[in-house]
């Protein structure tokens, strides 16, 4: 524990863990042996004198050898939300934004600037390219390679292969049958061919009933990496 680190109530820092002075940990965070929180980013031009940080939400558990890099930008933070569970050797690169209730299995690798939505599960050994976004409720298979954005509530495997919706995850969260039906209709329209951004904009303009469908469609308004699609082809703006 470096002087200057801020810990909420009832945090547990196990022996041999490292929490640098750049960290803010919410209540009840648990850091297991050999985890490193707030280390310098893997960025060749980084100036270690810059004051940047890491913020961890309440109730998050960081298992053995997990690591979270601090931001590369002065005054900015790498963020991991509340009630997350990072298993052994999971890595969160600089400037990532990880939502609440996210599970990262053993050996998961997040590049810099990755965004992960709430209630997403990332299987063991999966890697996520820098600047990629995963929407809420996504299920990522073990050893997957993610180089494009993955829309909310989808499953993804191998290299950006989208087999369909994470129905089990949605049902566990209590998403209604009506919302799931509407999501399926939106999915068919957005991935009908052509530009997913344009299709999503058209569908949302026509009006949707459920919050889940709205969030699914709004996801397509952002991002830099293009979108993984069911047919395996990249959208036209992939970089």
pTM over 0.85: yes
Q: Give the pLDDT of residue 232.
A: 62
Are 57 and 102 in the same domain? Answer: yes
Are 149 and 191 in the same domain? Answer: no
Q: Which among 26, 38, 81, 112 is annotated as catalytic? A: 112
Residue 69 lies in a domain: yes
Are 37 and 59 in the same domain? Answer: yes
Q: Which among 38, 57, 95, 111 is annotated as catalytic? A: 95
* Pick from 165, 164, 163, 134: nearest CA to 147: 134
Helices (H), the chain: 167-172, 177-190, 196-206, 211-218
Confidence of residue 196 (pLDDT cuts 50, 70, 90): very high
Q: 118-172: per-residue pLDDT in tens?
A: 999 999 999 999 999 999 999 999 999 999 999 999 999 999 999 999 999 999 9
Are 17 and 105 in the same domain? Answer: yes
Confidence of residue 224 (pLDDT cuts 50, 70, 90): confident
pLDDT for residue 100 is more than 80: yes
Residue 182 lies in a domain: yes
Average pLDDT of the chain? 96
Q: 2-45: per-residue pLDDT in tens?
A: 999 999 999 999 999 999 999 999 999 999 999 999 999 999 99
Is 112 marked active-site?
yes
Confidence of residue 236 (pLDDT cuts 50, 70, 90): very low
Q: Which of 135, 166, 197 is the last residue of a domain?
A: 166
Are 161 and 174 in the same domain? Answer: no
Q: Give the pLDDT of residue 235.
A: 52
pLDDT for residue 239 is more than 80: no
Is 94 marked active-site?
yes
Confidence of residue 87 (pLDDT cuts 50, 70, 90): very high
State how far the alpha carbon of 148 is from the alpha carbons of 13, 70, 207, 238, in Å. 35, 23, 27, 7
Residue 193 lies in a domain: yes
Residue 229 lies in a domain: no
Are 38 and 59 in the same domain? Answer: yes
Residue 233 lies in a domain: no
Q: 58-79: per-residue pLDDT in tens?
A: 999 999 999 999 999 999 999 9
The CATH number of the domain where 11 resides is what? 2.160.10.10
Q: 166-183: per-residue pLDDT in tens?
A: 999 999 999 999 999 999
Is 65 marked active-site?
no
Are 111 and 185 in the same domain? Answer: no
Surface-to-core class of residue 56, CB atoms within 10 Å of its CB (0-12 exposed, 13-18 middle, 19+ buried): buried
Residue 205 lies in a domain: yes
Are 124 and 198 in the same domain? Answer: no
Domain extent, residue 182, equals 170-221
3 state SS of 168:
helix
Number of domains in the chain: 2
Are 145 and 79 in the same domain? Answer: yes
Are 46 and 102 in the same domain? Answer: yes
Are 26 and 83 in the same domain? Answer: yes
Q: Which among 32, 65, 91, 94 is annotated as catalytic? A: 94
Are 88 and 29 in the same domain? Answer: yes
Residue 114 lies in a domain: yes
| Residue 41: DSSP 8-state | P
Residue 50 lies in a domain: yes
Q: Give the pLDDT of residue 233.
A: 58
């Amino acid at each position: 524990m470096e002087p200057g680190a801020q810990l909420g109530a009832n945090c547990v820092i196990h022996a041999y863990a490292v929490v640098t002075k750049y960290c803010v940990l919410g209540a009840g965070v648990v850091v297991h042996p050999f985890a490193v929180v707030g280390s310098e980013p893997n960025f060749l031009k980084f100036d270690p004198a810059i004051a940047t940080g890491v913020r961890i939400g309440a109730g998050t558990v960081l298992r053995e050898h997990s690591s979270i890099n601090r931001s590369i930008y002065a005054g900015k933070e790498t963020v991991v939300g509340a009630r997350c569970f990072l298993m052994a050797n999971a890595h969160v690169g600089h400037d990532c934004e990880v939502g609440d209730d996210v599970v990262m299995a053993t050996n998961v690798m997040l590049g810099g600037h990755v965004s992960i939505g709430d209630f997403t599960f990332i299987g063991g050994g999966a890697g996520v390219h820098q600047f990629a976004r995963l929407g809420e409720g996504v299920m990522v298979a073990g050893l997957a390679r993610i180089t494009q954005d993955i829309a909310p509530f989808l499953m993804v495997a191998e290299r950006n292969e989208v087999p369909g919706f994470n129905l089990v995850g949605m049902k566990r969260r209590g998403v209604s049958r009506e919302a799931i039906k509407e999501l399926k209709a939106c999915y068919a329209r957005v991935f009908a061919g052509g530009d997913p951004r344009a299709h999503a904009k058209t569908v949302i303009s026509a009006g949707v009933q459920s919050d889940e469908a709205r969030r699914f469609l709004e996801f397509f308004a952002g991002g830099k990496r293009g979108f993984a699609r069911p047919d395996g082809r990249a959208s036209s703006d992939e970089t």
